[in-house]
Structure 1
Amino acid sequence: MNLEFWILDGIQNLRTPAVDVLMPFITSFGNGGVIWIVLTVILLLIPKTRKTGLILGTALILDGIFCNLLLKNLVRRIRPCDINDAVRLLIPYPSDYSFPSGHTAVSFAAASALYFAGEKYLWKAALVLAAFIAFSRMYLYVHYPTDILGGALLGILCGYLGCRIVQKTEQYKRKI
């Protein structure tokens, strides 16, 4: 845990007024996974990208179940801002548990679902945004580095599983 606070406190040394405005804005893209849900709806509405939308939607549902319903409530890890309350929060205090990072998990689920769906360019933009969102959670002192790592790994797994579920469903539908 000391290494994690060493990393978080090192990130706090990067704080500037401009970045203090930027990071809450970046983290807001992960709030409730709304940006990824909107992207899913857009992809579902376009016939050419409907399968990608199904994969993305499935990945987001899996992420919501595994991250927010199961793991956070099983692990029940308190946030770094609960232990070191000397750091001024730039966002409202999160009311749920710390592990895994839900913002990170949903963002990496989206990026990896797009990758596994075969999107050539969209996954790269999503991955860049996911990385910025993940970093913002540490900058804002609401997640430990291992929360971020756990969220990223969970998200990648959900993206993969979302793709496999849609592929298996299509195979099954072809057989009947």
Structure 2
Amino acid sequence: MVAYTTLGNASLMWLLIAAIMVYFPKSRKAGIMVLFALILGYLLNNEFLKELIERPRPWVDLAGLEPLIHAADPNSFPSGHTCSAFAAAGIICRTLPKKWGLISVIAAVLMGFSRMYVGVHYFSDVLVGAAIGILCSQIIYYLFKAASAKTNLSIDCPSEKI
């Protein structure tokens, strides 16, 4: 779990997946949407809500809890790793074949679980992080869809036309 949760640092795993998607023409536009969803999630989750709420990490409140990793950010709520995971998974589910959607959702759920397992988040942090990630993916998806309709350009994705 420590290794897996570390892949989520700075959204590394999701940025790498988005870069791979951008490389291949069939998933390029979906990869670009993932990048935008990650950016929106970061801004809303990490730069706004975490700073506004300032909820301390679990080990600060729970005596005897020793986290398995060190989290540089002292704020716990909401989970940025989980937000990124669900922002990417939300786009992947809407734009790529179902098998990739299922794999991305499983990866996102595991990321949220790993954050609790290593002791740096509460369940509510993960739940709200997931909700924000899903919201960001939907906002980006519909913005791309609206832009596509307005400009008469199709945004081709393997599973559908946006």
TM-score with structure 2 setting the length: 0.88
Shift of 1:119: 3.2
Q: CA deviation at 1:157?
A: 0.6
Matched residues, percent identical?
35
Q: Which residue of 1 aligns with 2:146?
A: 168
Please give the per-residue CA displacement for 1:90-137, whole angstroms capped at 9, x wherever unaligned.
Answer: 112332411100011100111111112243221211111111111111
- Greater shift, 79-88 or 100-109, is seen at 79-88
1:154 aligns with 2:138: no
Offset, 1:144 = 0.9
What is the Cα-based RMSD across aligned positions, in Å? 1.5
Which residue is equivalent to 1:134? 112
* Residue 47 of structure 2, aligned match among 69, 78, 87: 69
- Alignment partners' CA distance in 1, 2:92 and 2:102: 9
| Alignment match, 1:87 | 65
Q: Which amino acid aligns with 1:58?
A: F
* Matched position secondary structure for 1:156: helix
Verify the 8 A CA contact 2:27 2:96 in the aligned structure 1.
no
**CA–CA distance in structure 1, aligned partners of residues 97 and 38 of structure 2:** 17
Equivalent residues of 1:56, 1:114 under 8 A apart: yes
Match of 1:106 in 2: 84
The superposition leaves residues 39-61 of structure 1 with CA deviations (integer Å, 9 ceiling, x where unpaired) of 11111121111121122111111
Structure 2 SS opposite 1:86: coil
Question: How far apart, in 1, do the equivalents of 2:93 and 2:49 lie?
Answer: 24
The alpha-carbon deviation at position 143 of structure 1 amounts to 0.7
Greater Rg, structure 1 or structure 2?
Answer: 1
- Judge conservation of contact 1:104–1:151 (CA < 8 Å) in 2: yes
Secondary structure of the structure 1 residue equivalent to 2:115: helix
Please give the alpha-carbon distance, in whole angstroms, between the structure 2 residues aligned to 1:88 and 1:146.
19
Distance 2:85 2:97 in 1: 16
> Structure 1's 153 and 63: CA in aligned 2 closer, same or farther, altered over 3 A?
same
Structure 1, gaps ≥5 residues long: 1-22
Q: Which amino acid aligns with 2:99?
A: Y
Residue of structure 1 equivalent to 2:103: 125
Q: How many residues align?
A: 153
Relative to 1, partners in 2 of residues 1:119 and 1:65: Cα closer, same or farther, differing over 3 Å? farther
Shift of 1:85: 4.2
